[in-house]
Every structure is written in structure tokens, then in C-alpha cells.
């Protein structure tokens, strides 16, 4: 049975980035190395039962004039030649998409990408043995592109998260998923780079791999040689739409935190500091007496914000938040967002030629948005 592919989201970077339709205490642990001489066969045999195919029907929407062929001169010439009339615009246009996912609990919790299930009306999950199950969306986070699903039942095969921070460039990895709807597809490669920023959002910290991933791999796991998930395949660098050996995965250390939050109440809680920041250029760092690539500068302190209450000022250079050294914008963005609102945190800044430490009580970001 032929199934249509999900149209990927697109993020501009050079020739283009196309998204694929591509606290650890709450999760189990698994460890199994591929047996010597068997390649990846033993590893794949162990983890594959936990990898699922995800099929989505999105909510119907009104057709726009731009969607219709009569607005294209090429179709107009064609219809004139054959003397046909243009069809009336359809009132509703439901769409179907596909992706991948993986089970992390025996009672049916499944991790996938947000963009796989975005605007979903129905979500169907297919297991390796062909069993089809209706899935419920527990919650999703567009900023990290992670979603959590649930299916009824128990005693499902599962996989566990490993540490993406401990993963090293050059290590072998295996991707399992459903590219173009071809379920149970396995590819291998290495970790090509870490901490990649592809300008898709404030939490960019991707693992780059040359394991072949394509549309339909989205939401599928990237395994290390211990059979642990070190990333969730999310995007590819693809000038032509297919794999060219540059794929990106959300690191597991971030996914674990997001999954724990979604499992709690289906929502992501993020904190708010209340500053606008910019990078510290090499020239500015030299003038201030800082090391190049050290800190981010406060461009503006927002009124009635935690930053203002703590005494931070425009022109301060933030060097450290909590235990996290701040070297670039995303370091501060992620550190603040993942901290609990209402908690007092230390923030180290550079002002007037010396370092200073302030205590700041972060606010709830949703309260500020409201």
C-alpha cells in the first residue's frame, strides 16, 4: 500500500536544511554491544522491536487560491488546449504524513518529532511485527522538535537513552527508522560533529552524522554501539531533498529533560530572565580584557524582569549562569530555559573591569507571554 510522504519543514542554511519526515531516573537503561564479527546485526536485532512507524492525518484545512492549478499559467494553457473547465476548489484538504519513533517505556510511551505530529487529527503507530495502534499525543515542544506519544498496552520492547555528552566525534552510530515509509530501515555511520547550530531555533545543539537519513526518518533513534539512544533524528542538509551524508539529531541529554517535562503534565516549563543579548566580538573582548569567545553582552534589561530586580545592567557581560560557562547566546538561552522558575540562581557578570556575582530569581516564561 503506497503512503504519501510528509512534506518537510525547511530551515534556511546555505543550500538549505530540510526537516525529515526525516532526569534519566524516569527512563530504563539498556546496554548491549554488537558481537565481534557480526557487524551491527546483533545490535539491530535487539533495538529494532522498539522502533515504530508513525503515520499521521492532519486536520483538514480550507484550500487557498494559491493551492489551485488555475493560478499557474502553465495549467491555464493546458486547460485551454483541451477545452476543460477548472475544478471547483475543494472545501477541505486533509493531509497525511509519516515519520518514525521509539518506545521508551513498557507501557507505551513513544518519542518522536514535534513536526511529525504537528496539527495531527489522528496518529497511527505500527510496530515491527505489523501491529497497528492508535496513539495519543501527550505533548510536544516545537522549540526542540520533540513530542511524546502514548499507546495502550503493556510489555512493549523498549530502548534506553545514553549520554550524548559522553559521545565522541568519530564514534560509530546506527539510525533505524522508516524513510519514505519503508519501515525497519537501518543505516550506519559516525558522529561527524557535535553542538551544531543550524539556525532552526534557540536550542540548536545538534549531533551531526553521516549515517544516511531521509524523509520518514524524523523522530527515529540514533544509536551508539551499546544500543543506547544518543540522538533523535530531526533534520538533514539536503539541497536536493535526499540524503547527502549530513544529518542532524537532537542530543539525548536534552531529549531526556524534555520527555520528563512532557510526561509530567504534557507541557514544557521554561524560565525567563528578561534580557536582550548579543555576542561579544573579538574586538570588544580585547578592549574589555576578556578572552575571545567568552561571555555574551546584555544589550537591554527589560522592565520589571528578574534581571532588573537582580541588578543587572545594559553593557554587562554574562560569563556564567549557575555552573554553566557562557560562551555563546544559546548557552545562556538553554541554561535559563531549563532552570526552574522561582529558583534562585547565581549569575556571574563582568562590569567595570571586574567580575561580579548576582543572585537572580527567574520567572515563568508563560506568565510573561500572557
**From CA 22, how far away is CA 92, in angstroms rounded?**
26
The whole-number pLDDT of residue 87 equals: 52
Residue 42: what pLDDT? 94
CB-based contact 42:134 (threshold 8 Å): no
Segments of the chain scoring below 70 in pLDDT = 1-38, 60-94, 241, 366-370
Let me know if 115 is a catalytic residue.
Answer: yes
pLDDT in tens, 108-141: 999 999 999 999 999 999 999 999 999 999 999 9
H or E, element range at 285: helix 282-288
DSSP code string of 187-231:
EEEEEEEEEE--SSSTT--EEEE-S---TT-TT-EEE-TTS-EEE
| pLDDT value for 202 | 74
C-alpha cell at 202: 534557540
Determine the pLDDT at residue 92. Answer: 61
pLDDT digits (tens, 9 = 90+) for 48-71: 999 999 999 987 655 554 444 445
What is the rounded distance in angstroms from the CA atom of residue 251 to the CA atom of residue 61?
A: 34
- Residue 15's pLDDT is 41
Cell numbers at 155, concatenated: 510489555
**Interstrand relation of 354-361 and 296-301 (parallel, antiparallel or unpaired):** unpaired
Instruction: List, by residue range, all CATH 2.40.10.120 domains of the chain.
Output: 1-59+94-268
> Is the separation of the CB atoms in 109 and 149 below 8 Å?
yes
Q: Which residues of 112-124 are buried (b: 16+ CB within 10 A; e: fewer)?
A: bbbbbbbebeebb
Closest listed residue to residue 312, CA positions, set 272, 263, 265, 273: 273
Question: CATH fold of 271-369, please?
Answer: Pdz3 Domain (2.30.42)
Catalytically annotated residue among 178, 218, 238, 335: 218
Would you call 257 a catalytic residue per the annotation?
no
Q: Which of these is catalytic: 100, 140, 145, 178?
A: 145
pLDDT in the model for residue 62: 57
Q: What pLDDT digit, counting tens, does each position of 151-189 carry? A: 999 999 999 999 999 999 999 999 999 998 888 899 999
**Which CATH architecture does the domain made up of 1-59+94-268 adopt?**
Beta Barrel (2.40)
- pLDDT reported for residue 339: 86
Which among 116, 122, 118 is positioned nearest to 134, based on CA atoms? 122
How crowded is the C-beta side of 200, counted as CA atoms within 13 Å?
Answer: 25
- pLDDT reported for residue 293: 78
| 84 in catalytic set | no
pLDDT of residue 91: 55
Residue 158, C-beta contacts closer than 8 angstroms, at least 6 positions apart: 28, 30, 50, 103, 104, 105, 106
pLDDT of residue 238: 73
* pLDDT at 268 (0 to 100): 87
Amino acid 340: pLDDT: 84
In the set 115, 164, 238, 335, the catalytic residue is: 115
pLDDT at 9: 44
Amino acid at each position: 500500500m503506497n503512503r504519501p510522504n510528509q512534506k518537510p519543514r525547511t530551515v534556511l542554511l546555505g543550500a538549505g536544511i530540510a526537516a525529515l519526515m526525516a532526569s534519566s531516573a524516569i527512563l530504563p537503561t539498556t546496554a548491549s554491544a554488537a558481537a565481534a564479527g557480526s557487524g551491527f546485526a546483533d545490535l539491530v536485532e535487539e533495538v529494532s522491536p522498539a522502533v515504530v512507524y508513525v503515520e499521521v492525518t492532519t486536520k483538514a484545512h480550507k484550500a487557498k487560491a494559491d493551492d489551485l492549478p488555475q493560478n499557474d499559467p502553465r495549467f491555464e494553457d493546458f486547460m485551454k488546449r483541451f477545452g476543460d473547465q477548472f475544478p471547483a476548489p475543494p472545501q477541505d484538504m486533509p493531509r497525511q504524513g509519516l515519520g518514525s519513533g521509539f518506545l521508551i517505556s513498557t507501557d507505551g510511551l513513544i518519542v518522536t518529532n514535534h513536526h511529525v505530529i504537528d496539527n495531527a487529527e489522528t496518529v497511527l503507530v505500527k510496530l515491527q511485527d505489523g501491529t497497528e495502534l492508535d496513539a495519543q499525543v501527550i505533548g510536544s515542544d516545537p522549540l526542540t522538535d520533540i513530542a511524546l506519544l502514548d499507546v495502550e498496552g503493556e510489555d512493549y520492547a523498549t530502548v534506553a537513552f545514553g549520554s550524548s555528552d559522553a559521545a565522541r566525534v568519530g564514534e560509530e552510530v546506527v539510525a533505524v527508522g522508516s524513510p519514505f515509509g519503508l519501515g525497519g530501515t537501518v543505516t550506519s555511520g559516525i558522529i561527524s560533529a557535535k553542538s551544531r547550530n543550524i539556525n532552526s531555533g534557540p536550542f540548536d545543539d545538534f549531533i551531526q552524522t553521516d549515517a544516511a537519513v531521509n524523509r520518514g526518518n524524523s523522530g527515529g533513534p540514533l544509536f551508539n554501539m551499546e544500543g543506547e539512544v544518543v540522538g533523535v533524528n530531526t533534520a538533514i542538509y539536503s539541497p536536493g531533498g535526499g540524503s547527502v551524508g549530513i544529518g542532524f539529531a537532537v542530543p539525548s541529554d536534552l531529549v531526556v529533560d524534555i520527555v520528563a517535562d512532557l510526561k509530567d503534565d504534557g507541557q514544557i516549563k521554561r524560565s525567563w530572565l528578561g534580557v536582550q543579548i548579543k555576542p561579544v566580538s573579538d574586538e570588544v573582548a580585547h578592549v574589555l580584557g576578556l578572552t575571545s569567545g567568552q561571555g555574551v553582552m546584555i544589550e537591554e534589561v527589560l522592565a520589571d524582569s528578574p534581571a532588573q530586580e537582580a541588578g543587572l545592567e545594559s553593557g554587562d557581560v554574562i560569563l556564567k549562569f549557575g555552573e554553566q560557562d557562557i560562551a555563546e547566546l544559546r548557552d545562556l538561552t538553554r541554561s535559563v530555559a531549563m532552570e526552574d522558575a522561582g529558583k534562585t540562581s547565581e549569575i556571574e557578570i563582568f562590569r567595570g573591569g571586574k567580575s561580579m556575582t548576582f543572585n537572580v530569581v527567574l520567572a515563568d516564561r508563560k506568565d510573561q507571554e500572557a
